[in-house]
Amino acid sequence: MRFKLTPQNTSFYGQFATLATHIRDAAHLLQATVEGPPGEWESAARRLKELEHQGDEATHAILSAVNSSFITPFDRDDIYRLAARLDDCLDHIEASVEIMVLYRVGELPAAVAEQARVLTQMADLTLEAMPGLEKMHNLREFWIAVNSLENDADRNYRQMIAALFDGDRDAVDIIKFKELFDELEAAADSFETVANTVESIAAKES
Amino acid sequence: MRFKLTPQNTSFYGQFATLATHIRDAAHLLQATVEGPPGEWESAARRLKELEHQGDEATHAILSAVNSSFITPFDRDDIYRLAARLDDCLDHIEASVEIMVLYRVGELPAAVAEQARVLTQMADLTLEAMPGLEKMHNLREFWIAVNSLENDADRNYRQMIAALFDGDRDAVDIIKFKELFDELEAAADSFETVANTVESIAAKES
Amino acid sequence: MRFKLTPQNTSFYGQFATLATHIRDAAHLLQATVEGPPGEWESAARRLKELEHQGDEATHAILSAVNSSFITPFDRDDIYRLAARLDDCLDHIEASVEIMVLYRVGELPAAVAEQARVLTQMADLTLEAMPGLEKMHNLREFWIAVNSLENDADRNYRQMIAALFDGDRDAVDIIKFKELFDELEAAADSFETVANTVESIAAKES
């Protein structure tokens, strides 16, 4: 119901794409890390920390642009919310590798690489969806695809947890792996929240 | 401060009642499950998963109705928030039984049934409060009653946790029970958040 | 973009200062508690519970004032958000001492006192920043200082966690200490969220 004057400030789309690019890079690095040797976890954690900072800067740039713009391409609060939710994805990906390092997590079960692959797909879809915000195009497909991937992540998570308590694993190992599985699950949830936020924006604007 | 034209779209109240009915059913099923034999946990978990999906659909129907309505009975963002917070209640109830199954939790202490009874009362009160949204009636009583129940849940939670660390329980058992107690506590908190949301809506409209 | 009529309702600033005073008191009590003998943990937990209730009342007073005011000094939703985020700080400080008591946490590592000192500094800065809300003064300095302290807290937290898993500590002890460290970290995060909220308010109003 807001007035739409032309020319609109279109740089928001570019800023969202920048943020989503950092997320995509982080997800791919997570996948490479959990598939690679433990000796490279620490350098990956450092690189992810940098990506997290770049993500914070991209988020901050979006918020500054919102505050200094008289007209925004969609609802001001929705821009805030979407930027914050995208930033959450990056934070959870970064935190996953940090847990592996800090907790001295042992050999990863194969399901962790599976989970990382789901996150990579979610991150790729999220980056691809960003240009759609401009014309409110193909956003429903994005939402459906991410929700379907989140169901995969959820099934995978529950199998990992069940396996952890099935047998007589050491309690300290359970603590470590549960922390990692929970963080990966939080990452998958945060992509779903991004997709839901995008869908609610699309619903309002349509 | 919004214009109120007649006739208003009144279907929102019915949709909130539908969502609250699913929550009520879930809470009663949780109570029956923790009071019943472990052999029925898995079927209860499946039934709760269905209720959770029905809750998601009810929530989605509310959000779609908000987006397609020119006039809403109360503030658009408050409708969003209330629907999302009600959905949280259902999610935490479902997650509690899922934890019992996935973590192969052992014999439940009596306090778990006590906690489930508090949740059942909260869910009953929440369903009863929904018609009050239409006339903004009796909402303060609802808020007071739920807050009082949340205090009971909180006291109960703290006793369960203290008992867990008092003695020499096995660490793996502690992990499992703590997860269950935390989820039940999150369920109680989510009902309190619903009551607080309802109260803030009532305060704005009065 | 809201109209600013004079005289504005200025009591909001006083109410925020009251809430921040309770937080300041709670943080200093936390610091004294973790630096003092375990025999005083229980009485400190009771005193913090009282401060938490006073904080709830202060928060509630702010929300009531928002609802009954035609004109608010800054955006209504931002007032809600800032009050709620301040309340979170108090809740996490209170919960930290409650965990020490309920979980029968053993001798605290020195880093806990260090973490409490960071929280005390954050609480002092937050109280000092409240008058700045009236003229939107010195809020950027506040934001920078709190973010810097949060980085200290984060570094400290990661060292505490790494130390916990470095060696062969008992699993039950790990559970207890991890819970405490996580709660202290949540407290530090909540101060950062307050600072970010203040900064976003300042950005909108400038």
Instruction: Let me know: does A12 contact A73? Beta carbons within 8 Å.
Output: yes
How far from B182 is each of A85, A171, B113, C66, C181, CA to CA, in Å? 25, 19, 14, 33, 17
* CB < 8 Å to B176, chain A: 165
pLDDT for C135:
85
How far from B20 is each of A24, B33, B142, CA to CA, in Å? 38, 20, 14
CA angle, residues A120, A126, A132, in degrees to nearest 5 = 155
**How many CB atoms within 10 Å of residue C194?**
28
Instruction: Let me know: does C163 contact C115? Beta carbons within 8 Å.
Output: no
What token pair was written down for B135?
A: 């006339």
> Are A171 and B171 within 8 A, CB to CB?
yes
Chain C residues near any Cβ of chain B (below 8 Å): 63-64, 67, 80, 98, 102-104, 170-172, 175-176
Least confident of A97-101, A130-134, A186-190, B87-91: A130-134
Residue with tokens 């409110």: A136
> Are B67 and A161 within 8 A, CB to CB?
no
Q: C185 CA to chain A: closest CA distance, Å?
A: 14
Q: Locate all alpha helices (DSSP H) within chain C, ordered by sequence.
A: 11-35, 41-68, 76-102, 110-129, 132-135, 139-164, 171-205
For B9, phi then psi, to 5°, come to -75, 110
pLDDT for C91:
96
For C179, phi then psi, to 5°, come to -60, -45
For C32, phi then psi, to 5°, come to -60, -35
Best mutation target, C147, C159, C161, C176, to test chain A (most A CBs within 10 A): C161
Q: Which of B157, B138, B145, B128 is nearest to B192 (CA)?
A: B145
User: pLDDT tens digits, chain C, 206 residues: what are they?
Assistant: 344 443 444 578 899 999 999 999 999 999 999 999 999 999 999 999 999 999 999 998 898 888 788 788 888 888 989 999 999 999 999 999 999 999 999 999 999 999 999 999 999 999 999 999 988 888 989 999 999 999 999 999 999 999 999 988 899 999 999 999 999 999 999 999 999 999 888 887 76
Q: Which residue of C has its CA nearest to B204?
A: C67
> Are C103 and B158 within 8 A, CB to CB?
no
For the stretch A75-87, pLDDT in tens is 888 898 999 999 9
pLDDT for C9:
47
Bin A89: left if φ > 0, else alpha if -120 < ψ < 50, else beta: alpha
Q: Which of B206, B205, B190, B201 is nearest to B85 (CA)?
A: B190
> Are C165 and A98 within 8 A, CB to CB?
no
pLDDT for C96:
98
Q: Extract long-range pairs of C124-129: CB within 8 Å, 24+ residues apart.
A: C124/C24, C124/C27, C125/C149, C126/C20, C126/C23, C126/C24, C126/C86, C126/C89, C126/C191, C126/C194, C126/C195, C127/C17, C127/C20, C127/C21, C127/C23, C127/C24, C129/C20, C129/C198
Instruction: Let me know: does C15 contact C55? Beta carbons within 8 Å.
Output: no
> Are B104 and A178 within 8 A, CB to CB?
no
Of A63, A80, A175, the CB nearest to C174: A175
Sign of CA dihedral B181, B182, B187, B192: positive
pLDDT for A10:
53
Beta strands in A52-146 (DSSP E): none
Instruction: Let me know: does C182 contact C147? Beta carbons within 8 Å.
Output: no
pLDDT for B76:
84
Residues contacting B27, CB < 8 A, separation 6+:
B93, B116, B119, B120, B122, B123, B124
> Are B158 and C102 within 8 A, CB to CB?
yes
Q: The complex's ipTM? A: 0.85
Chain B contact partners (≥3 CB pairs within 8 A) = A, C
Q: Where are the domains of chain B?
A: 11-205
pLDDT < 70 positions in chain B? 1-10, 206
* CB < 8 Å to A162, chain B: 102
Residue with tokens 């993500």: A55
How much is the average pLDDT of A27-53?
97
Best mutation target, A2, A159, A169, A200, to test chain B (most B CBs within 10 A): A200
One-letter amino acid at C138 equals N
pLDDT for A134:
87
Residues contacting A96, CB < 8 A, separation 6+:
A30, A180, A183, A184, A187
Q: Cα separation of A187 and B159, whole Å?
A: 33
Q: A144 CA to chain C: closest CA distance, Å?
A: 31
For B38, phi then psi, to 5°, come to -55, -25
pLDDT for C10:
53
Chain A contact partners (≥3 CB pairs within 8 A) = B, C
CATH among 3.40.50.300, 1.20.58.220, 2.30.40.10, 3.10.130.10 for B11-205? 1.20.58.220
> Are A67 and C204 within 8 A, CB to CB?
yes
Residues contacting A108, CB < 8 A, separation 6+:
A34, A100
Chain C contact partners (≥3 CB pairs within 8 A) = A, B
Q: Cα separation of C28 and A179, whole Å?
A: 31
